Amino acid sequence: MMFFSTPKLIVLLVSLSLLLFSTNAAAKPLRPRLDNGLALTPPMGWNSYNHYSCSPSESIVHSNAQALVDLGLQAQGYHFVTVDCGWTLPDRTASGTMTWNATIFPSGFPALGTFLHNLGLGFGVYSDAGIQMCMTGEPAQVGSLFHEQQDATTFASWGADLLKCTLLVPLSKYDNCYSEASAGYPNTDYSPTVSPSGRYQNMSSAILATNRSIVFQICEWGVDFPSAWAPALGNSWRVTNDIIPAYRTIPRILNQVVPQTSFAGPGHWLDLDMLEVGNNIFTIPEEQTHFSLWAILKSPLVIGAALKDSATSISTESLDILLNEDVIGYNQDSLGVAASFRRRWTEEGYEVWAGNLSENRMVVAVANLQDTARSLTLNLTDVGVQTVGSLKDIWNGVTASNVETTYTAPVEAHGTILLELSNFTEAAAAPTPTFYSSASFTPTGDAVRTTCSTGLCTPVGSKIGNISPTGSASLSITAASGGSKLVDIYFCNNDIAISTSWGYGTNTRNMTIAVNDVVTRIEVPLSGKSSELFSPGLGWQDTGIFKVAIGGWQEGTNSVVVGNQGGAAGYQSYGADFVGMGIYF
Least CB distance to ligand NAG at residue 261 (A): 9
309 is catalytic: no
Phi, psi of 325 (to 5 degrees): -65, -35
**Helix, strand, or coil here: 411?**
strand
Q: Residue 355: name the closest of 410, 298, 400 by CA.
A: 298
Choose, by CB under 6 A, the member of 188, 506, 520, 527 that binds ligand NAG: 506
Q: Name every residue whose Cβ is closer than 8 Å to that of residue 437 and which is 6 or more positions away in sequence.
A: 459, 460, 579, 580
- The number of residues that bind ligand NAG (CB under 6 A) is 33
Q: Helix 148-160 crosses helix 197-210 at what angle (to 10 degrees)?
A: 40
DSSP annotation of 281: S
Contact between 181 and ligand NAG per CB under 6 A? no
Choose, by CB under 6 A, the member of 150, 356, 444, 462 that binds ligand NAG: 356
Phi-psi region of 26 (alpha: psi -120 to 50; beta: other; left: phi over 0): alpha
Choose, by CB under 6 A, the member of 99, 381, 396, 516 that binds ligand NAG: 381
Choose, by CB under 6 A, the member of 48, 176, 235, 508 that binds ligand NAG: 508
Residue type, 237: W
Choose, by CB under 6 A, the member of 150, 387, 462, 500 that binds ligand NAG: 387
Between residues 324 and 531, which has the closer beta carbon with respect to ligand NAG?
A: 531
Phi, psi of 70 (to 5 degrees): -65, -35
Residue ranges of E strands in 506-563: 509-515, 518-524, 544-553, 556-563
Contact between 15 and ligand NAG per CB under 6 A? no
Task: List b or e across 543-579, with b for residues whose CB sees 16 or more CB atoms inside 10 angstroms.
Answer: bbebbbebebbeeeebebbbbbbebeebbbbbbbbbb
Residue type, 379: N
Phi-psi region of 229 (alpha: psi -120 to 50; beta: other; left: phi over 0): alpha
Between residues 13 and 89, which has the closer beta carbon with respect to ligand NAG?
A: 89
Count H helices and E strands in the chain, helices first: 10, 27
Q: Which stretch binds ligand NAG (CB under 6 A): 235-243, 275-283, 293-301, 503-511?
A: 503-511
The Cα 219–Cα 559 span in angstroms is 48
Q: Name every residue whose Cβ is closer than 8 Å to that of residue 468 and which is 6 or more positions away in sequence.
A: 445, 446, 447, 564, 567, 573, 574, 575
Contact between 198 and ligand NAG per CB under 6 A? yes
Contact between 137 and ligand NAG per CB under 6 A? no
Least CB distance to ligand NAG at residue 531 (A): 16
Q: What is the CA radius of gyration of the chain?
A: 25
The Cα 358–Cα 330 span in angstroms is 9
> Which residue's CB comes closest to ligand NAG?
389
Give yes or no for a contact between 44 and 80, defined as CB atoms under 8 angstroms apart: yes
Q: Which stretch binds ligand NAG (CB under 6 A): 39-47, 96-104, 233-241, 456-464?
A: 96-104
Choose, by CB under 6 A, the member of 337, 352, 365, 378 that binds ligand NAG: 337
Q: Which helix (H) or strand (E) holds 194?
A: none
Q: Which stretch binds ligand NAG (CB under 6 A): 168-176, 364-372, 384-392, 431-439?
A: 384-392
The Cα 481–Cα 576 span in angstroms is 29
Contact between 236 and ligand NAG per CB under 6 A? no
Choose, by CB under 6 A, the member of 523, 532, 542, 577 that binds ligand NAG: 523
Contact between 509 and ligand NAG per CB under 6 A? yes
Site residues for ligand NAG, 260-319, by CB under 6 A, read: none
Least CB distance to ligand NAG at residue 142 (A): 11
Least CB distance to ligand NAG at residue 320 (A): 29
542 is catalytic: no
Contact between 157 and ligand NAG per CB under 6 A? no
Between residues 87 and 490, which has the closer beta carbon with respect to ligand NAG?
A: 87
Contacts with ligand NAG, 50-89, as mask; x by CB under 6 A: ---------------------------------------x
Choose, by CB under 6 A, the member of 423, 442, 481, 557 that binds ligand NAG: 423
Between residues 523 and 577, which has the closer beta carbon with respect to ligand NAG?
A: 523
The Cα 526–Cα 257 span in angstroms is 8
Contact between 107 and ligand NAG per CB under 6 A? no
Residue ranges of E strands in 194-327: 216-218, 236-238, 269-271, 301-303
Catalytic residue chosen out of the listed positions 84, 128, 151, 175: 175
Strand partners, 171: 125, 216
Contacts with ligand NAG, 557-576, as mask; x by CB under 6 A: ---------x--xxxx----
Give yes or no for a contact between 233 and 351, defined as CB atoms under 8 angstroms apart: no
Least CB distance to ligand NAG at residue 340 (A): 6
Least CB distance to ligand NAG at residue 387 (A): 5
Contact between 96 and ligand NAG per CB under 6 A? no
Q: Which stretch binds ligand NAG (CB under 6 A): 119-127, 194-202, 319-327, 364-372?
A: 194-202
Active-site residues, by number, are 175, 242
Q: Which residues contact ligand NAG by CB under 6 A? A: 5, 89-90, 101, 103-104, 139, 198-199, 202, 210-211, 337, 356, 379, 381, 387, 389-390, 402, 406, 423, 486, 506, 508-510, 523, 566, 569-572
